[in-house]
Amino acid sequence: MSMSFLFTFTIIISFGLCILYASAELQRLSHSSKHDGALSFLVLGDWGRRGAYNQSQVSFQMGKVGEKLDIDFVVSTGDNFYDNGLTSDHDNAFQESFTQIYTAKSLQKQWYSVLGNHDYRGDAEAQLSPVLREIDSRWLCLRSFIVDSELVEIFFVDTTPFVDEYFTEPQEHKYDWRGIGPQKPYITNLLKDLELALRESTAKWKIVVGHHAIRSVGHHGDTQELINQLLPILQANNIDFYMNGHDHCLEHISDTESPIQFLTSGAGSKAWRGDIKGMNRRDVNFFYDGQGFMSVKLTQTDATIEFYDVFGNVLHRLTSSKQLHSSM
C-alpha cells in the first residue's frame, strides 16, 4: 500500500469524522413532569455579578416564587458571568455569582443554561465542563440541546455564533470560538439538526431558548441574523414561545406572521438602560426596563407566563390555551 494512498485514506476518514461530528443530533435530556402532568420553571438571564446590581434581590424573589409554584427547574438565557465569562472551570466567580447567590431551597433544582456573548468572551468551554457540576450539581450548560419533558420540549440554541459582528468587528473583545470551527458550517448544521428535531417533536408545547432576541425594543433590538435564519424554521414548526435574554429587560412581543410569542427575560442583574426603540409597535404587549425574571407554568391545556420585578410584583401575565385533544 503506497504512502500516497494511506495519506489520502487518512484525509477521507478524518473528513468523514468531522462531518459526523458537525452534524450530530442535538443532545436530548429527559426531565419528568409532576405526577399531575404539569410543569413549572423560572427563566432568568444576564445575571452573574457576584450579587451586585440587585442580583441578590432578584434571587430572593425567585426563591419565593419558586416555592409557590413548586418549580421543576430553572432556565438561564445566557450571559451567566460578567463581564467576560469564566477564566477557567476553577474560577471563583462560579460560586460567588451562582452557588452563593441562588441559595433558596426552591432553587436547588436543575439549572439548564445556554451561553451568551459575554460568556464567549471568557473561557466558554469552562461553563460546559463537568468540573462545574462537581462543584454544584445544579449546573448544566451546553451549547445546543433539548430538554424533553413529554408535555413540553425545550430546544436550547447557541445563538452567539450567528451574530456576524462578533467575528468581523470584535473590537477589544476576544471571543473563544473553540469547538465552533468555521462559522457558516456550524450554523448550517445546527439549523439542520434543530429543524429535524422540531419537525419530529410530538410535544404539546414547543419552546425555543436562545440568548439573543429575535424581536426586541430594548437596547440591542432585533437580531437580524436570527430573523433571517432561525425565525423561518420556528414559524414553520408550530413553536409556541421563543425565550431569550441579551437585552437587560423584560418584554413580551407577538410575531406578526405566526402564533409565536417572543419573551425576553434578561433582567437578572444590571438593567435600567433607559434606551427604548419602537414602543409604538402594535406587536409589543409589554416592556419593563428594570430587574426581574419570568415564571412558566404548563399543563396539557394551558400555559401561564408571568413577569416579576425585583420586589416580586407581577408586572405582566400571558396565558395561552390549547385543546386537550387535537382534531383529526
CA angle 67/72/76 to nearest 5° reads 95
For residue 9, being part of any structural domain is answered with no
> Does residue 19 belong to any structural domain of this protein?
no
N-term to C-term CA, the chain: 61
* 79 assigned binding-site residue: yes
Give the total number of structural domains in the chain. 1
Mind listing the pLDDT tens digit for each residue in 233-291?
Answer: 999 999 999 999 999 999 999 999 999 999 999 999 999 888 888 777 889 999 999 99
| Dihedral (CA of 80, 83, 87, 91) sign | negative
Collapse the DSSP code of 206 into the 3-class scheme (helix H, G, I; strand E, B; otherwise coil) and give the result. Answer: strand
CA-wise closest residue to 50 among 102, 10, 3, 90: 102
* CB within 8 Å of 305: residues ≥ 6 apart: 241, 252, 263, 294, 295, 296, 297, 317, 318, 319
Examine the pLDDT at 138 and tell me if it is beyond 60.
yes
Q: Is 72 annotated as a binding residue?
A: no
Query: Which residues are registered as beta bridge partners of 208?
Result: 155, 242
pLDDT tens, position by position, 72-127: 999 999 999 999 999 999 999 999 999 999 999 999 999 999 999 999 999 999 99
Distance CA 185, CA 182 (A): 6
What the block records as the C-alpha cell of 54 is 440587585
> What integer pLDDT is reported at residue 326 of this predicted model?
45
So which residues are the catalytic ones? 220
Per-residue pLDDT at 9: 34
Specify the DSSP class assigned to residue 28: E
- Report the sign of the C-alpha dihedral through residues 272, 277, 278, 283, in that order: negative
Residue 107, domain member (yes or no): yes
Domain-located, residue 22: no
| Mean pLDDT in residue range 204-231 | 97
Q: Read off the C-alpha cell for 150.
A: 413529554
Judge whether residue 301 has pLDDT over 60.
Answer: yes
- Is 113 within a domain? yes
> Which residues span the domain enclosing 314?
28-321
**pLDDT at residue 184 in the model:** 97
- Using CA atoms, how far residue 326 sits from 203, 298, 301, in Å, is 12, 17, 11
Is 211 flagged in the annotation as binding? yes
| Residue 21 within any structural domain of the chain | no
Is 82 annotated among the ligand-binding residues?
yes
Rounded to two decimals, the pTM is: 0.91
Residue 10 confidence class, pLDDT cut points 50, 70, 90: very low
84 by Cβ neighbours in 10 Å (0-12 / 13-18 / 19+) ranks as middle
Is residue 6 one of the residues assigned to a domain?
A: no
Mean pLDDT of 290-309: 98
What is the average pLDDT across 171-197?
A: 96
CATH number for 203: 3.60.21.10
Q: What is the mean pLDDT of residues 51-79?
A: 98
What pLDDT score was predicted for residue 17? 35
pLDDT surpasses 90 at 141: yes
Q: Would residue 32 count as lying in a domain?
A: yes
